[in-house]
Chain A
Amino acid sequence: MPAWILYSGVVIVFWGVVGLFQKLGTNRISAHSLVVWLTVGYIVLVPILLARTGMSGLGRMTILIGVLGGFTNGLGAWYLFASLEAGAKASIAVPLTALNPLLTIILALGFLGERLTLVQWVGVAAALIAGAMISYETGA
Chain B
Amino acid sequence: MPKWLRYALLCIFWWGVFGFLSKIGSTKASPIQMQILFTIGMLPLVAAALLRRKIDRDRVGAAYGVLIGVLAGLGGIGYFAAMQAGKASLVGPVTSLFPLLTVLLAVGILKERMNRIQLAGVVLGLISIAVLSV
Can you list 15 pairs linking A and B with CB atoms under 8 Å apart?
A: A7-B78, A28-B64, A33-B56, A34-B64, A37-B68, A49-B32, A53-B33, A69-B41, A76-B11, A86-B7, A97-B12, A104-B17, A134-B97, A134-B100, A136-B118
**Interface contact A15-B72, CB-CB below 8 Å:** yes
Give every chain A residue within 8 A of B13 (Cβ-Cβ). Answer: 76, 100, 103
Chain B interface, >50% SS class: helix
Question: A interface vs B, CB < 8 Å?
Answer: 1-5, 7-8, 10-25, 27-30, 32-46, 49-50, 52-53, 55, 58-59, 61-63, 65-80, 82-84, 86-88, 93, 96-109, 111-112, 114, 116, 119-120, 122-124, 126-138, 140
Closest to B35 in A: A49
Question: B interface vs A, CB < 8 Å?
Answer: 2-5, 7-8, 10-25, 28-30, 32-46, 49-50, 53, 55-56, 58, 60-62, 64-75, 77-79, 81-83, 85-106, 109-110, 112-113, 115, 117-118, 120-122, 124-125, 127-129, 131-134
Nearest CB of A to B112, in Å: 6
**Interface contact B42-A39, CB-CB below 8 Å:** yes
- In whole angstroms, how far apart are the Cα atoms of A4 and B41 in the complex? 25
Chain A interface, >50% SS class: helix
Given A25-B61, A88-B7, A120-B132: A16 in contact with B25 (beta carbons within 8 A): no
- In whole angstroms, how far apart are the Cα atoms of A132 and B117 in the complex? 10
- In whole angstroms, how far apart are the Cα atoms of A30 and B32 in the complex? 29
Give every chain A residue within 8 A of B81 (Cβ-Cβ). Answer: 7, 10
